[in-house]
Structure 1
Amino acid sequence: MIRKTIFFALLIVLAILLYLYPNFKTIAAGIAILLFGMIMLEEGFKVFTKGPLQNLLKKTTDKLYKSITAGALVTALIQSSSLVSVITISFISAGLISLSGGIGLIFGANIGTTATAWLVAGFGLKINISALSMPMLVFGIIFSIQKKASLKGIGNVLAGLGFFFLGIHFMKEGFDIFKEYIDLTQYAISGFKGVIIYTLLGIVITTVLQSSSATLALILTALAAGQIEYENALALAIGANIGTTITAVLGSLSSNVAGKRLAGAHLIFNVFTGIAALALIYPLANLVNNISKFTNISSTDYTLKLALFHTIFNILGVIIMIPFIKPLERALLKFFKDHKDKDIDEPKYLNNAVLKFPASVISALINESKYLYKNTIFEIVAHALNIHREDIKSDKKVKKILKKSTKDLQTNVEDLYYKKVKTIYGEIIKYAITAQNDFKLNRKENEAITDIKVANRKMVEIIKDARELNKNITMSLDLDNKHMLKEYDGFRKKIIKVLRIIYLFRKAEDSEVYAKKLLQLKNEAKENIRQSNKSIDKLIRENLISAEMASSLFNDYTNVNDMVKKLIEVAELLYGKKDTLLDNGN
């Protein structure tokens, strides 16, 4: 809504200006060409973001000085702080870099944007760049129509630079023509009042153009044409720096929490830098004069002096803010909280539309339960055993799988439950209860929903069993006791065999053979729960394991057999042909 309002306001203002001042069209055309060139530059460099550019940004965020330097150099090279911001937000969201590393890149990007001022002041306004832009456009367009992505990227970069220089040429020409009719310097305001007014004007112009680089180019060309006073140009540059944060804030409204945090850092930095520059504008202007004398910059070369001023106050802002990066990071993390964890799995089949008819809600409940079982429960149980799912699905011998699976996969079963199961389980129960309350179900339908509820409850119990087993399996890896390892390998072997048969049972068109195997394994598991493990008894008698080890083994022996029974029962319900095969724990 805000963006649409700004867009329509821009159109109205532009139409009024062109109507009242027809000679303004050359300047407007120059701005449009320059902005188009910057868009092409960004598109061209996007081709290379998947390679060296991404790797560079990713590898330079371990140290603050590296991230600031990288942000500055990359932005100066590609002339697009917005592209650096997009990559940074993506990396933070993926967990590839920390927020403080991203803040460093953004601080550096602010320094990098000063390259535009130097490019325009030191190069664009000193020579006839329209002659240089023409060959860039010719070769750029030739390259950009090629099929190969890298050539197309180079073409867009060349064409973008060509349009960028051409835009500056038209803006300069436009101001030269415009001053014959209207002298804008008559609107100059001296003193601190003028500083404040022109700073606000700089904010407005940058908000409209959505680019501080374009605003700076506009300020520099107007300054070179003598259409604005140097003192007012300094204030406009400060306003441009502050105004660019509005673009970032508007862009972050629809982004994720990482984007909002980064936009917040950008806003705080630029506003703080702007306020500091306003407070110190006259001392900084004197510093620029002194540096200009030392570096042989002419006292009347206001464009280069403005570029120098812009660079100094941006670098000064970074230096002042560096000690506050960690507190800023903590404040942003606290203020912008991710209320909805994007890692949490949500239902795939359950929605309000399925609640129209009993058949549709039962079908959705079954499909949702199947999805949960075959994807999530299978994964959690396998990883709890320190086994990869693909090994279970393969035709490898179980002994070979166990032999190679000796590393701790560091599975956090509790975390997986909250991220992958809890929300879906809650929705399944909610929809099941809603269906039973809202519909007049027949006996068969009611039993089907009840069985689904029981099946899901057993899945949750399987996860709890897997959590306990995972702790002891991991513990056994650290013990220097081959007998313990052998026993736990026996437990893992039993569950792997069951998971493999369940996988084949689900896949097979004729599942009768696997159904019989599952029934046999379930009966064995039930019998084992009632009987003690003779191998554990023997280890105790021969003092090969401690009493504490024996306690863990006995508990997990019962635990494993209970898991096997529940895994098979859920598979029979969801994939079996009988109406109900669950014994409900009896």
Structure 2
Amino acid sequence: MLLLGLGLGFWRSEAFLTVAAGVAVFLFGMMSLERGFQSLSGGWMEHWLQRLTNSTGKSVSLGVVSTSLMQSSSLISLLSISFLSAGLISLSSGLAIIFGANLGTTSGAWLIAGFGLKVNLSDLALPLLVFGIVLQLQSRPSWRSLGHLLTGIGFLFLGIQFMKDGFSNLQSQMQLTAMPFQGFTALLLFTGLGIIATVVMQSSHATLILILTALAHQQIHYEDALAVAIGANIGTTVTAILGSISANAAGKRLALGHVVFNLVTGLVALLALPILIPVVELLGNGLGIAADNYTLRLALFHTVFNTLGVAIMLPQLERLTKWLEKRIPADTISIKVPRYLNDAALESALATTSVTRQESQRLTRHALDIVLRALDWEPRSSHTESLLPPAKEFTEKQIDDAYHNRIKTLYNAIVRFISLAHKTPGTTELEPLRQFRSATYHMVEAVKTSGQLHGNLYPALHGRHHTLHAAYEALRQDIRQVITLLENIIAKSTNEPSAAASFFNDYLLELEHQKLRLDDAHERADSETERMIREHIVTPAQATSLMNDQGYARQIALSLISAGQALILAQLPQTSKAQTMIQLSDEDVTQVRQTLATDASEEPSNEA
């Protein structure tokens, strides 16, 4: 119906076509501008949002400044939902950013009313478009991002000029001043018009520019234009609602808080309009705004009623936060589904990396629980009861079920999420995501291999053959050393995600030491097995099974080491540099070999 109505309007009126084309060009410019900001930021915009939210005042100021610079409250709202969904900011900080973003978006009305309606913007738009397209053709990402920004600004200017030209020709065809409604009914009608226009165009800026242009050409009464501005503010909540559909409970709380803020602000502005109009006149006179300059007075009104909304809602921030947490309870998370991954986080490269890190660590902890149980140790995680079925003996079938029904489903979700993340604007650092995917892959391999080892290990540990018991105990102790190291890495990266590179480099070195220890242990185990065969301590069948299991144990340990290395490399600032640092020098290798030789000489021999 919308397309049919537009087509009919284009056929009936060339001026309406010009206005509609102006709106379309303007919206395209907004999309290009947002894309440019997202890709040009290289992460600084996300780091602003994360670091400057440790107080309510900073959060509000951040919302004001960032929205004024980017001219997109929708982008700030989506980024805030993304960060909150990733656990990078608190709900109260996110709400404060939204409050500030609503105030910052009023700067656009000032720019258009004070500048855009007084000059021929097409004279500025065309050079910007030329430079923007040329820069987008360059190979450097930063130049292409700058090109998107210039192109976006050029299309914004061009769209505004189209709307101005269209409205100047619509004066005889469309007169909103002639609508047969008066009083509060007219205010409600025009407020609804502002809501609908913003919902359809997904941009309060576009609605405000339309109404400013109509007001400049005297096609709408001043009071009615104020109502449309109120409706445009309310209509922006739809973007937040749509952005929260794929978010977790935290993101949905922020979207609902956005709705509450805009509804309260809009309702107060409508009810207090008889008071606000004289206040705006008084402030306008003080600022030197002419009495008949209704476009600037509309921009002033837009700022005044949003400031009033912030003044009303900011003292209620803590109460609103508690109400939202009660209204939307936390998600009930099954071990079979991701806890941290959500598509809302894809709006930000930093949030994408953060949730991937958290989910990868979660899968690693679950996988370690299964490996520990397969090695006949009790897992130490608090979620063990829901992850592993209780049993006197953890069977190979249970390991297989845990792998297919739980670990593999999480791994598949992580792979899918990382694939989607590659399409995220501004995601220039894909190496951390690849490392997280590598870490989870190696953990999956460790779980699969542990099932193959468990079949012979459990009987040997609980049997009466002391030599086999000692051999299998040595196998699992080798793995236990690596597990302990990996648990320490996870704990450190969970509690201190931005830990010093030197700290993680120490762990990388220790993982390489573990590889050398495994090589040495494997060689000694082979020699010991051959001795036991010669001396008839074990049968050939027992020896064959033992050698196979020694290979499985080595595979498990190497998989765990590779997972640990990948988790560390994903969190180092310069992965390529870090990869060169993990190679041991000749002196390191000699030192480890000497230590291993000393340890071996002090160990008692295993005899029947």
TM-score range, shorter chain: 0.5 to 0.7
Q: Deviations over 1:305-332 (max 9, x none)?
A: 1100011111110111111111212222
Work out whether 1:504 is the aligned partner of 2:467. Answer: no
Q: How far 1:152 moved relative to its partner?
A: 1.5
The range that moved more, 307-316 or 328-337, is 328-337
Check the 8 A contact 1:502/1:518 in 2, yes or no: no
Name the amino acid aligned to 1:298: A
2:297 to 301, 305, 308: 305
Check the 8 A contact 1:245/1:267 in 2, yes or no: yes
Inter-partner Cα distance in structure 2 for 1:515 and 1:291: 89
Whose RCO is larger (CA < 8 A, sep 6+)? 2
2:152 to 160, 167, 179: 160
Inter-partner Cα distance in structure 1 for 2:111 and 2:390: 59
Q: How far 1:16 moved relative to its partner?
A: 3.7
**What corresponds to 2:272 in structure 1?**
280
Q: How far 1:142 moved relative to its partner?
A: 1.6
Inter-partner Cα distance in structure 1 for 2:174 and 2:314: 45
Name the amino acid aligned to 2:22: G
3-state SS of 1:179 partner? coil
Inter-partner Cα distance in structure 1 for 2:230 and 2:529: 74
Check the 8 A contact 2:81/2:243 in 1, yes or no: no
Work out whether 1:150 is the aligned partner of 2:142. Answer: yes
The structure-2 alpha-carbon separation of the partners of 1:514 and 1:258, relative to structure 1 and needing over 3 Å to count, comes to farther
The RMSD of aligned alpha carbons is 4.4
Inter-partner Cα distance in structure 1 for 2:390 and 2:195: 49
**What corresponds to 1:221 in structure 2?**
213
**What corresponds to 1:242 in structure 2?**
234
The structure-2 alpha-carbon separation of the partners of 1:183 and 1:134, relative to structure 1 and needing over 3 Å to count, comes to same
Inter-partner Cα distance in structure 2 for 1:329 and 1:86: 18
Q: How far 1:201 moved relative to its partner?
A: 1.2
Name the amino acid aligned to 1:39: M
Q: Deviations over 1:271-316 (max 9, x none)?
A: 1101111111111111111111111111111111110001111111
1:460-499 equivalent positions in 2, closer than 5 A: none
Inter-partner Cα distance in structure 1 for 2:265 and 2:28: 29
Q: Deviations over 1:447-468 (max 9, x none)?
A: 999959979xx9xxx9xx99xx
3-state SS of 2:43 partner? helix
Q: How far 1:53 moved relative to its partner?
A: 2.0
**What corresponds to 1:270 in structure 2?**
262
The structure-2 alpha-carbon separation of the partners of 1:246 and 1:87, relative to structure 1 and needing over 3 Å to count, comes to closer
The structure-2 alpha-carbon separation of the partners of 1:291 and 1:512, relative to structure 1 and needing over 3 Å to count, comes to same
**What corresponds to 1:425 in structure 2?**
388
Inter-partner Cα distance in structure 1 for 2:23 and 2:185: 28
3-state SS of 1:48 partner? helix
Q: How far 1:164 moved relative to its partner?
A: 0.5
The structure-2 alpha-carbon separation of the partners of 1:212 and 1:501, relative to structure 1 and needing over 3 Å to count, comes to closer
3-state SS of 1:286 partner? helix
TM-score normalised per structure 1: 0.63
Work out whether 1:331 is the aligned partner of 2:323. Answer: yes
Q: How far 1:192 moved relative to its partner?
A: 0.9
1:53 to 41, 45, 69: 45
**What corresponds to 2:414 in structure 1?**
none
Inter-partner Cα distance in structure 1 for 2:242 and 2:168: 35
The structure-2 alpha-carbon separation of the partners of 1:518 and 1:302, relative to structure 1 and needing over 3 Å to count, comes to farther
Q: How far 1:174 moved relative to its partner?
A: 0.4
The percent of aligned pairs where both chains have the same amino acid is 41
Q: How far 1:163 moved relative to its partner?
A: 0.8
Name the amino acid aligned to 1:425: L
Q: How far 1:220 moved relative to its partner?
A: 0.8
The structure-2 alpha-carbon separation of the partners of 1:372 and 1:143, relative to structure 1 and needing over 3 Å to count, comes to closer
**What corresponds to 1:87 in structure 2?**
79
Inter-partner Cα distance in structure 2 for 1:96 and 1:37: 30
Unmatched 5+ residue regions in structure 1? Answer: 1-8, 348-370, 382-412, 437-446, 474-495, 521-567, 578-586
Work out whether 1:74 is the aligned partner of 2:66. Answer: yes
Q: How far 1:66 moved relative to its partner?
A: 0.9
Q: How far 1:374 moved relative to its partner?
A: 10
Larger radius of gyration: 1
3-state SS of 2:139 partner? coil
The range that moved more, 41-50 or 305-314, is 41-50
The structure-2 alpha-carbon separation of the partners of 1:519 and 1:335, relative to structure 1 and needing over 3 Å to count, comes to farther
2:118 to 112, 126, 129: 126
Inter-partner Cα distance in structure 1 for 2:132 and 2:371: 51
Inter-partner Cα distance in structure 1 for 2:335 and 2:206: 39
Q: How far 1:12 moved relative to its partner?
A: 3.5
The structure-2 alpha-carbon separation of the partners of 1:451 and 1:321, relative to structure 1 and needing over 3 Å to count, comes to same
Inter-partner Cα distance in structure 2 for 1:517 and 1:269: 73
The structure-2 alpha-carbon separation of the partners of 1:345 and 1:208, relative to structure 1 and needing over 3 Å to count, comes to closer
Work out whether 1:40 is the aligned partner of 2:32. Answer: yes
Name the amino acid aligned to 2:260: I
The structure-2 alpha-carbon separation of the partners of 1:325 and 1:453, relative to structure 1 and needing over 3 Å to count, comes to farther
1:295-374 equivalent positions in 2, closer than 5 A: 295-341=287-333
Inter-partner Cα distance in structure 1 for 2:217 and 2:145: 34
Q: Deviations over 1:416-460 (max 9, x none)?
A: 442xx5554249989947999xxxxxxxxxx999959979xx9xx
Inter-partner Cα distance in structure 1 for 2:38 and 2:100: 19
**What corresponds to 1:173 in structure 2?**
165
Name the amino acid aligned to 1:31: V
Q: How far 1:334 moved relative to its partner?
A: 2.6
Inter-partner Cα distance in structure 1 for 2:101 and 2:59: 10
Q: How far 1:181 moved relative to its partner?
A: 2.8
**What corresponds to 1:103 in structure 2?**
95
Q: Deviations over 1:326-366 (max 9, x none)?
A: 1212222233233244888779xxxxxxxxxxxxxxxxxxx
Aligned length: 421
**What corresponds to 2:408 in structure 1?**
none
The structure-2 alpha-carbon separation of the partners of 1:434 and 1:286, relative to structure 1 and needing over 3 Å to count, comes to same
The range that moved more, 32-41 or 251-260, is 251-260
The structure-2 alpha-carbon separation of the partners of 1:126 and 1:338, relative to structure 1 and needing over 3 Å to count, comes to same
Q: How far 1:185 moved relative to its partner?
A: 2.0
Q: How far 1:23 moved relative to its partner?
A: 3.1
Inter-partner Cα distance in structure 2 for 1:448 and 1:130: 71
Check the 8 A contact 2:15/2:167 in 1, yes or no: no
Check the 8 A contact 1:18/1:24 in 2, yes or no: yes
Inter-partner Cα distance in structure 2 for 1:502 and 1:427: 36
Q: How far 1:227 moved relative to its partner?
A: 1.4
Name the amino acid aligned to 1:211: S
Check the 8 A contact 2:335/2:387 in 1, yes or no: no
Name the amino acid aligned to 1:504: L
Q: Deviations over 1:142-163 (max 9, x none)?
A: 2222221221122111111111
Inter-partner Cα distance in structure 2 for 1:257 and 1:518: 56
The structure-2 alpha-carbon separation of the partners of 1:89 and 1:49, relative to structure 1 and needing over 3 Å to count, comes to farther
Unmatched 5+ residue regions in structure 2? Answer: 340-362, 374-378, 402-450, 463-476, 489-509, 532-545, 556-608
